[in-house]
Structure 1
Amino acid sequence: MDGFSYIIQQFDRGIQSRLISEQLATVVNTVSLVKKNPFPNLVNSMVVRLSEHFVSGPNSLRGAIARSLSQMEEQLLLVFSHNEVCRRLLVVSHSNDPIARAHTLFALSSIAVIAKENKEVHTFVVDSLSSSHKEEFNGACSALAAFCRLSTEFTRTVLAQISEYLLSSTSPIERKIQIVSIFSHIQSDQESSHSIFALGAKLFELNTDLTFLSTLLSSLTSLAILTRFSILDQLSLLLSVLSSTVDCSPPLSFVALSNISRLANHAHVWTKEHISRLGEYRHRLTHDEDVCCALLHTLEVLGRRRLPSHMGVLQEILSEMSPLYSHDSLKIRASFIAFSTHVFVSSPSDLHRQNLLNSISSSLSVPLPTKIGVKISKVAGVFLTNDAVSDEEGLLLVSSLCKLPLSHSNVTLFLHLFCLLSQKRRAFVPPISKWARDAIQTPSSSSLSPSQLSFLAFPPFAAEKEVDVSPFNKLPYTILFEIVRSGFRNGHWRSISMPLLKSMTKLSLSCGTRDYLVALSQLAQSQSRKCTVSDVQSSVALLALSKRSFIKLSRSSLNPLQSFCYRYVEALEKTRQAQMQLMSTLTVFVSFPSPDGPPLSIRPISFRIFEVLQSCLPILSQSISEWSLLLRRSFDGDDHSIDLISLEMYSASILVYGVKCIMESDAPNLPLLPPLSSDSVIINETRSLLLWAASSMQQLAGRQGIVTTKTLDHFFSVFRHMYTRPVFIPRLFFQPTRRTTIKLSVSPGAEGELTVSPSIPVPIRLDGVISTSRKTKIEAIIVSANIHYYSARGRDRVEVRRVETHDGNFFTAQFLLKFEESAQMDISVELVDGEKRKTWLSDASTTLRVDVNM
């Protein structure tokens, strides 16, 4: 019995139990079973069985089935017997029990994704809208919303009845609100959309209930954003509503402005007249705090879009509202600072720069409510990291904040702001680092995050002698680990991470956790200190130990880790091995004069240097390949992590380039700096160092094969800077911000084994489901089947299929293969993302053993 048959057998046993509690438990567990095994045959069988028991079960079971179906919307796309499922559910629609009909409507709304074109379902939902029973009407509204969101034809069918119901004076206002809220996600063509907006205009004139009007305006705005072609009409309607309510109904004015700010995200359709008309209300809205803040937020969103045609009007409005820089209301002041900052970023002005510096400084120096303080500190980060603000002006503001006592109520905001600033501009690092070190030594700073303080106190490129981690030794394990992580990410492996890891291993920990800390400790000890052969040999040995530890951990069920950890250490180990071989061979030929001694003699070197350098090229090229492979496996990496890996690969390329400059008579091509997506002190400083190294290596080119001690000394001087530079562990190593998993199922052969007859084509199908937290769409899947014959290795072959994903998360690849002898088929998967069109390697793989029955 294969795995799917066993799952279905267990389901049948539970759902057919005499105890209703066991039946309910089985239904609830179905959701997790389907999500763990999202393959068409299994999902289809489970959903069909649920629909069978929906017909025969009591209302409690029907409700549980409806809720379970609503939790497996993605997996329902795999159901292929949807007509059969709908037919069985509709059997209950003829029941005299309104509760049973309500459960049917909720179940149909849950499976709308596969029933959206079923006419019988459409008819039942429309008829149920006239029900007087509350539960049945709620179910009808739920189904109405689900089907309108997916089917344009259903929207056309139901629109006339909805209009009649909403325009009727006898319809309860509560039910009208329920139906109007459906407009926000409706799927419609242009004709239906115009009908809905015309209906909305009538409803606005006929109703006075604030809740109804608020829901109506919000729903129409959502529909306008969804259809795009109605944005201008909706904007004109909202501006008219604002004009008629600005003096008499602040709550409705606030609703209108809130919806206008949503349309501001589509600033490309706005005209200067729209913005000018909105700006006319700037003096009439300041008496109400919420309404004024809504106006300022709308202007902020428009400023954030930075459209050149809008900036002139926005600058005029900003200048006329300048008194708000010092407004008594902190909420209004914060909103105005945000608006001013985004206009300033697009169109810098000396006057507004000084006003912003003063306003931000004065605002942050007084106690602030949490929400307002967070907003001002975020905007301050955007302002201070802008190039239009000089280092001197920014340092004055940062220094004034550093001088405030650590007992200040906004000190947590300062900490977050300083973390942002220290990553963006190196000029801010010294005062912030001193502030953080003082805070560590001050007892009153115990409320501040130790990991963030350590991140600031020991910034990247700080001298090792400045680091003292003794104040952290008595902190809890979780906080210590955060500090360890900061040490690795800031390049302080030995000085921060290693001593803390040694103290942490003395704690009472699980075996898996202890092994993980040991692996990290070995990695920390491998950090380079001096450019000597003994140092690099020690580093290589420690990296080898760390790699073995991470490989063991990645295979452990007690402490599973991403494969990225050991692959990163493996790439670093390969780089160190290449550096060790290069250093070992070159030190024979390189002289080391005293800084105060006589200049180097320029004497030719033996031709044996060419043989030595030639022997180093293969392992140097391997190190580039390791980083390149790691980069292709970093699909879940954030931009900063990917940039760090790219720079390590570029560093290895520079060494290869330098060796070729010495060996070849013609100048080789200079390696290109890979495109970088992030902007931080670490990235910028590392990039500058590597560009300098590449430029320095370029000076060795074109010497017509003549090598002197001066040539090698120059090379070795550049090499020393590259070897001793800090290496920054990417965030992906510790905490991936995204997670992508791929589950595979092979049929036939679900258990990994398949018996076939010789020379007869066998259809093999691979079903896969992708679960990802990335917003980038996966456009295509490349499936590779490596076929290895046990007794005839020379006949091994690779079959490749490129398939499109359907519904974004599912894919199917089919093979028609002949096997003359027993073989093993290793299947691997690559991803093609829809944004950068890059091909990424995944960890998803499966093996099928094929036995040929002679």
Structure 2
Amino acid sequence: MNVEPTTPDADQLTANTAFVAIDKGLLSGKVSEQVEAIVKFPSLFDRHPFPLLINSSMLKLADVFRVGSNFTRLCILRVCQQSERHLDKILNVDEVVRRIFSVIHSNDPVARGLALSTLGSLSAIIPQRKQVHHSIRQSLDARDPAELEAGILAAGRFAAVSKTFATNISERVSEMVQSVTTPVDTKLKLLNILQHMHHDTQTAATVRQLCVRLLPSFPSEQFVTTTLRVLTKLAAETLVDIPEQVELLLGYLTGDVRRAVKAAVLSELLQLSRRAAPLWSPANHGALIRFAAETRRTAEKAAALAVLVELARSVSVRQFDLAPDGPLMRLCQAEAYHEEAAVAGSAVQLLTALAVHCQERGVRPDVTGSAVAACDSLLLLLTSAGGAEGGRRLRAPLRCAVSLASDDATAALLLESVGGLARAAPAGPARRALLEALCAVGSQRPHVLAPLASDVLALLEAPDTDGDTTVQLCTLLLQLRGGSAVWPDSEQRALAAAAVRVSHWQAYKIARQAMRYGHHGAASRLLGPLLAHVSTEQMQFWLSALLEISEAEALLAAPPADRDMSVLSEASQRYARGLATLRASTSPTEQLEFPVEFCRLRWRSLQAHIRLWSACRTLQTSPPPACVANAGAAGARDDSQRSGRVTAQLQKSGAEFSSLADDYGRLHRASFDADPDSLAGVERLQRCCHLVAQAVGWAVRRTSPETVSAAACPAGPAAAAHPAEEACARAAAVVARAHQLSGAARGVDHRHTAALLAVSRLLTAAPLRLPRRFFQTLQRTVISLSVQPQPRSASEPVIAHPITSQLVVKIDGVVGHGRRGAVFRSIAQVQLRVTAALQGKPPADSKAQDTTIAMSRTVEPHNDYFHGQFLLDLRLPGIHVVTVDAHIVDADGIQWLTSSTEQLTVRAIDETQQSRPSRANSTQPH
């Protein structure tokens, strides 16, 4: 469970309170206090990026910039540079620019330079300000170096966002670059401006011709590398010049002997391979392959192979010649066994990319065998070398090994090699890296780990095995058994002994892995001793809940033939206690919404299975009288009524399982931050509920058993070995066999109930693998809403609004991603929904029948900020509750139930009725 420490610092303050606290520092007469307040603005913007706050803050900073010292101006410049993603929320742009631009007329060149740099950082919101453009052009003629450098930087910023400025300034920059009087260091800075001249093809072509002409005229190393970098960035933006740029770079790669130039060229080729690999021609590939084969410098060879790796991972791999005697394969075979690990690593990555392409496309010849042999050789080389960085250097080849393990034969071959290296490697980072790769393969193909059982036990009993390595070895052991309730005694003793040797946190991690892989009996034995070693009440409740859940699942793991309703009832009771304890472990910082809902649905499913068993046994305990049943079926014209009340009970049970499947679907759509494996686990449980519902439908309504088989289809090839998928497939086979035996039987008989009981036993006996989302949150997405209007004070929660005008509801929202950012999926759009509902009955004289107003629109976040506005026509006087919901839409167009909600209370006032009594009173005689 992730528990992040929280302290009552500025993060918990409201935006207004934080702004007032910082504003006091700005008003101070001491420079130190002003600077301390200024440097707090970037973090304030990140916490509360709302337009009103940012606009007020920038106006304050612009005032300080206008009258402050150069040091405070420098600090404000840094604030603008660090907060560029929030500058588009400034509302009074003209006023902010006017206050900063006034410093341009100062007699101090340093102040003018700081003003130009600050305006350059604001270029995204003022791209077409002619006055600023003119000042930048004038600064290029400045004699002061600080002002000239600031003008060059500002020119580059404005050229990147303004087509007009880029077109107008290109000629002036070209003249200065070609001028003899311009210093070389200034020319190098001016060249960086030319990389932004990509707004129109004519200007881009002119600038490119200029730079190509300058290359032979200024052959110095620094000038050539800078010019080539500018040309590469210009070509990457225009795209039409990429083939020509690749040819130019390859010409310098083979024709220039300077190491710095070759290194710069290879870096630019790497950028172009990532940006536009399809535009490379086979001739370009051949030239790069020849250079990689002929060069003797290991750094250049490794860099050239890195470029080929990027090309091999793109669609350009289809243009490669994979013949065994071709130049590419000869290069790979020669360099994969190079004595330098960097070169061999790049060659192995290239072979891996080619092998993955061959496996996915079915291309012949397949180079998987060569890739596996080269990967084994590199792993052996790096493992034998050892050193403090051994684990870090093993990461890349181990990732290649995991990518190559796409089938059982290749995975078994790689695991045999990696397992032997892990057994022979000394304790430390290298062994942990090797074991991590084994765990990665075992999570997808656990059945190939069987030959490693003896090695895992030997390493567990080794005296030099540390705690982290023990956790990895126990994970391998848990993957190896795949949720089986029957374990060899040696492995059980090894697991118990390992849990005693490690720390309490590491023992908890082993228990967590046991629950993730369905070994709940082992998890309960590990969690029991940990209850006496927790420091907080919240952790006590959390571990108690896990213990109840693991004991309940351990009861369900008994063989299906030995399980009766008492076992299900006891497991359900344990789940109920675990759910109550789990709810007690929640806190304001850890809501545990997914674990609580997941546990609740599992408890409901056990209750549903208990009721299904009771319904099936009703046919044996109280069978319907034949005459009454036949008469009821004839009257209802439904043969299923011949079975009496068991039919109604089964129909109710089927509806309950259908409702459970819908609830699992809602949990799936509410888990935007869950990892793909956790979502797949929830989908499997939903499919199990669908299968039971359809099996009940087959027994009652005689639907086709093919619908039950369709519900049991696995989600993908890798999911076929999952215990839930196997149980679904076996349950579907039971229904199909029972359908053949029952034939044309009328009503529900003992064969149907026996099939339903067998389906229930199979599904409840399948080991439940708790998803990773149950324990860890790798991605945390939070939407914060600010809704206007707001009441004047907390004591007046109701906003008064006349019914003669429309209520304007303004919504500002911020998307927060936590510390790790978007790991699995990101927000593409946000759907805003506004609902206004009248509380109470409408007035008697009102003709309107609809008392609810619903509106929605979809907005796209920009820099994690979105804005929406609605006009509500509240024609009925009374109290209206306005609810604002923000729903997430991902890049695939899927709308998730994860949302944020805000409410407003509005009192609609009929001003005409309120003014009538006063007018009537004024007409009465005195």
Amino acid in structure 2 at the alignment position of 1:358:
A
Residues 142, 148 of structure 2: 8 Å contact kept: yes
Structure whose alpha-carbon radius of gyration is higher: 2
**CA deviation digits over 1:33-72, x for unaligned, max 9?**
3333322223222222221221122222222222222232
1:416 aligns with 2:436: yes
Higher mean alpha-carbon deviation, 518-527 vs 680-689, is at: 680-689
The 1-side partners of 2:828 and 2:108 are apart by: 47
Match for residue 872 of structure 2?
Answer: 816
Over 3 Å counting, the alpha-carbon distance change for 1:615 and 1:308 in structure 2 is: same
1:396 and 1:515, CA in 2 relative to 1: closer, same or farther beyond 3 A?
closer
1:312 is paired with a residue whose SS is: coil
Q: Give yes or no for contact 2:723–2:766 (8 Å, CA) kept in 1.
A: no
Alignment partner of 2:833 out of 766, 781, 784: 784
Moved more, 147-156 or 631-640: 147-156
Matches of 1:669 and 1:681 in 2, distance apart? 21
Other-structure match for 1:386:
406
| 1:238, distance to aligned residue in structure 2 (A) | 1.0
Q: How does 1:500-649 map to 2 (within 5 A)?
A: 500-527=526-553, 528-530=556-558, 531-554=563-586, 556-557=587-588, 559-588=589-618, 606-649=643-686
**Partner of 1:664 in structure 2?**
701
Which of the residues 109, 113, 117 maps onto 1:98? 109
The answer as to 2:860 corresponding to 1:832 is: no
> Residue 294 of structure 2: SS of its match in structure 1?
coil
* Kept in 2: contact 1:550–1:566 (CA 8 A): yes
**CA distance, structure 2, for counterparts of residue 451 and residue 153 of structure 1:** 62
Change (3 A) 1:574 1:787: farther
Query: How far apart are residue 15 of structure 1 and its match?
Result: 2.0
Q: Deviations over 1:183-213 (max 9, x none)?
A: 6666522223223322332332233333443
Q: What is the alpha-carbon distance in structure 1 between the residues aligned to residue 808 and residue 366 of structure 2?
A: 73
CA contact (8 A) 1:639 1:678 kept: no
Q: Deviations over 1:79-99 (max 9, x none)?
A: 121122111110111112223
Q: Measured at CA, do residues 364 and 192 of structure 1 come closer, stay the same or move farther in structure 2, by a change above 3 Å?
A: same
Task: Confirm whether residue 19 of structure 1 aligns to residue 30 of structure 2.
Answer: yes
- How far is the alpha carbon of 1:141 from its aligned partner? 4.1
Deviation at 1:474, TM superposition (A): 4.7
Asked whether the equivalents of residues 474 and 510 of structure 2 are also in contact (C-alpha less than 8 Å), the reply is yes
Letter in 2 for 1:521: L
Q: Give the partner amino acid of 2:616.
A: L
Bigger CA drift: 216-225 or 611-620?
216-225
| Pairs within 5 Å for 1:482-497 | 482-496=509-523
Correspondence for 1:125 = 136
1:92-131 CA distance string (max 9 Å, x none)? 1111222322322332233222122222222223333444
For 1:241 and 1:764, how far apart are their aligned partners in 2?
A: 61
Match of 2:98 among 57, 62, 87: 87
Match of 1:600 in 2: none
Contact 2:720–2:726 (8 Å) recurs in 1: no
Describe the SS at the equivalent of 2:170. helix
Q: CA, structure 1 residues 357+36, in 2 after alignment: closer, same or farther (shift >3 Å)?
A: closer
Quick one: percent identity of the two aligned structures? 21
Please tell me whether the aligned partners of residues 482 and 518 of structure 2 are also in contact (alpha carbons under 8 angstroms): yes
Indicate if the aligned counterparts of 1:658 and 1:700 stay in contact, CA closer than 8 A: no
Residues 131 and 512 of structure 1: CA distance in aligned 2, closer, same or farther (over 3 Å): farther
2-structure distance, mates of 1:177, 1:137:
13
Verify: 1:204 aligned to 2:261, yes or no.
no
SS in 1 for 2:354: helix
SS in 1 for 2:707: coil
- Partner of 2:816, secondary structure, is strand
8 Å CA contact 2:888–2:899 kept in 1: the answer is no
1:51 correspondence with 2:62 = yes
Give, as a single letter, the amino acid of the residue that structure 1 aligns with 2:888. Answer: L
Q: Tell me, which stretches of 5 or more residues in structure 1 are unaligned?
A: 592-603
Which piece of structure 1 moves more, 387-396 or 621-630? Answer: 387-396
Contact persistence 1:353–1:389 (CA under 8 A):
no
Whole-angstrom CA distance in 2 between matches of 1:692 and 1:706: 24
Q: Which SS does the other structure have where 2:834 is aligned?
A: strand
What SS is found at the alignment partner of 2:878? coil
Matches within 5 A, 1:112-151: 112-151=123-162
Q: Quick one: distance in 1 between partners of 2:716 and 2:158?
A: 42
The 8 Å contact of residues 647 and 674 in structure 1, kept in 2 or not, is answered as no
* Corresponding residue for residue 398 of structure 2: 377
Structure 1, 359-368 or 768-777: larger mean CA deviation: 768-777
For residues 579 and 881 of structure 2, the distance between their equivalents in structure 1, rounded to whole angstroms, comes to 29
For 2:690 and 2:800, the matched residues in 1 are separated by 49
Match of 2:671, SS state, is coil
Q: Indicate the residue corresponding to 2:689 in structure 1.
A: 652
Is 1:746 the counterpart of 2:787 in the alignment?
yes
Contact kept in structure 2, 1:567 and 1:630, CA below 8 Å: yes
Contact 1:398 / 1:428 at 8 angstroms: preserved in 2? no
Kept after mapping to 2: 8 A contact 1:297/1:335 = yes
Gap change, CA 1:606 and 1:318, over 3 Å in 2 = same
Contact between 1:780 and 1:802, CA under 8 Å: does it hold in 2? no
The whole-number CA distance in structure 1 between the counterparts of 2:504 and 2:169 is: 60
Q: What residue number does 2:922 align with? A: none
Match of 2:822 among 763, 766, 774: 774
In the TM superposition, 1:297-316 aligns within 5 A as: 297-305=306-314, 307=316, 309-312=318-321, 316=326
CA contact (8 A) 1:432 1:457 kept: no
Q: Secondary structure at the match of 1:505?
A: helix
Do the aligned partners of residues 716 and 402 (structure 1) sit closer, same or farther apart at CA in structure 2, a change above 3 Å counting? farther
1:552 Cα deviation (Å)? 4.7
- 1:455 maps to 2:482: no
Query: Do the aligned residues in 1 keep the contact of 2:687 with 2:712 (CA within 8 Å)?
Result: yes
Aligned to 1:96, what secondary structure does the other structure show?
coil
- Greater shift, 680-689 or 58-67, is seen at 680-689
Q: What number of residue pairs does the alignment pair up?
A: 833
- Displacement of 1:491 after TM fit? 2.3
After superposition, give the CA deviation of every residue in 1:366-403 in whole Å (9 maximum; x if it has no partner): 324635432222212222x1339546644553554355
Paired AA for residue 828 in structure 1: D
**Structure 1 residues 276 and 711: CA distance shift in structure 2, 3 A:** same
Higher mean displacement: 571-580 or 581-590: 581-590
Partner of 1:737: 778
Relative to structure 1, the CA distance from residue 209 to residue 765 in structure 2 (aligned partners, 3 Å threshold; closer, same or farther) is same
Is 1:290 aligned to residue 290 of structure 2?
no
Matched, 1:281 2:326: no
Check conservation: 1:657, 1:697, Cα contact below 8 A.
no
Q: Residue in 2 aligned with 1:443? A: 463
